[in-house]
A and B are shown apart, each in its own frame.
With several copies, the nearest count.
Chain A
Amino acid sequence: MRGLIISIISLLVPVGTALAEEKSTLNSGDTAWLLTSSALVMLMTVPGLALFYGGLAKRKDILNTIAMSFIAYCIVSITWIIVGYGIAYGSTIGQFFGNPFEYFFLKGMTPSTLSDNIPAVLDVMFQLVFATITVALVSGSYIERMKFSAWLIFTILWGVLVYPVVAHWVWGDGFLSAHGALDFAGGTVVHINAGIAGLVGALMLGRRKDTALIPNNVTLVALGAGLLWFGWFGFNAGSAYAADGAAAYAMLNTNIATAAAAIGWMLVEWMHAGKPTVVGISSGIIAGLVAITPAAGFVNVIGAIIIGVIAGVCSYYAVAVVKQKAGYDDALDVFGIHGVSGIIGAILTGVFADPAIGGKDAVGLLYGNPGQVVTQIIGVIATIVYSGVMTAVIIFIAKALTGLRVKPDAEEEGLDQSEHGEKAYNI
Chain B
Amino acid sequence: MKKIEAIIKPFKLDEVKDALIEIGIGGMTVTEVKGFGQQKGHTEIYRGTEYVIDFLPKVKIEVVVKDDDVEKVIDVITKTAQTGRVGDGKIFVIPVEDVVRIRTGERGEVAV
Contacts and interface: CB of A to CB of B under 8 A. Distances in A.
Contact of A320 (B43, B44, B47, B51): B47
Nearest to A211: B49
B42 A213 contact: no
Contact of A214 (B11, B42, B44, B48): B44
B50 interface: yes
A212 B43 contact: no
B51 A273 contact: no
A414 B5 CA distance: 26
Interface residues on B, range: 10 to 19
Contact of B45 (A317, A321, A413, A421): A421
Interface in B28-50: 42-50
Contacts of B46: 213-215, 277, 279-280, 422
B62 to A, nearest CB: 22
A279 B47 contact: yes
With most chain A CB atoms within 10 A of its CB, the pick from B45, B48, B51 is B48
Interface in A292-314: none
Contacts, number: 47
Nearest to A321: B48
Contacts of A283: 47
Interface string A204-244: 00000000111100000000000000000000000000000
Interface of B: 11, 42-51
Contacts of B50: 273
A144 interface: no
Contacts of B42: 417, 421
A412 interface: yes
A181 to B, nearest CB: 31
Q: How many interface residues does chain A have, given as a range?
A: 20 to 34
A272 interface: yes
A275 interface: yes
B49 A213 contact: yes
Contact of B47 (A213, A275, A412, A421): A213
Contact of A316 (B43, B44, B48, B51): B48
A406 interface: no
A324 B44 CA distance: 16
Given A272-B48, A412-B11, 13 more contacts: A214-B46, A269-B48, A273-B45, A273-B50, A280-B46, A280-B47, A316-B47, A317-B48, A320-B47, A321-B48, A324-B49, A417-B42, A422-B45
Contacts of A321: 48
A423 B56 CA distance: 12
A49 B41 CA distance: 32
Max chain A C-beta neighbours (<10 A), residue from B42, B43, B47: B47
Interface of A: 212-215, 269, 272-275, 277, 279-280, 283, 316-317, 319-321, 324, 333, 412-413, 417, 421-423
Given A421-B42, A421-B43, A320 B48 contact: yes
A421 B48 contact: no
Question: Which of B42, B43, B45, B46 gathers the greatest number of chain A CB atoms within 10 Å?
Answer: B46
A280 B48 CA distance: 8
A421 B42 CA distance: 8
A215 B47 CA distance: 11
Contacts of B44: 214, 421-423
B42 to A, nearest CB: 7
Contacts of A215: 46
8 A-B pairs with the lowest CB-CB distances in the bound complex, closest first:
A320-B48, A273-B45, A319-B47, A412-B11, A213-B46, A279-B46, A273-B48, A421-B45
Contacts of B47: 213, 279-280, 283, 316, 319-320, 333
A213 B49 CA distance: 8
A268 to B, nearest CB: 9
Contact of B48 (A319, A417, A422, A423): A319
B49 A320 contact: yes
A69 to B, nearest CB: 20
A318 to B, nearest CB: 10
Contacts of A214: 44, 46, 51
11 contacts: A213-B46, A269-B48, A273-B48, A279-B47, A317-B48, A319-B47, A320-B48, A324-B48, A324-B49, A421-B44, A423-B44
Nearest to A414: B11
A321 B45 CA distance: 13
Contacts of A275: 45
B33 to A, nearest CB: 16
A130 B98 CA distance: 63
Nearest to A212: B51
A409 to B, nearest CB: 9
A317 B47 CA distance: 9
A100 to B, nearest CB: 37
Nearest to A221: B46
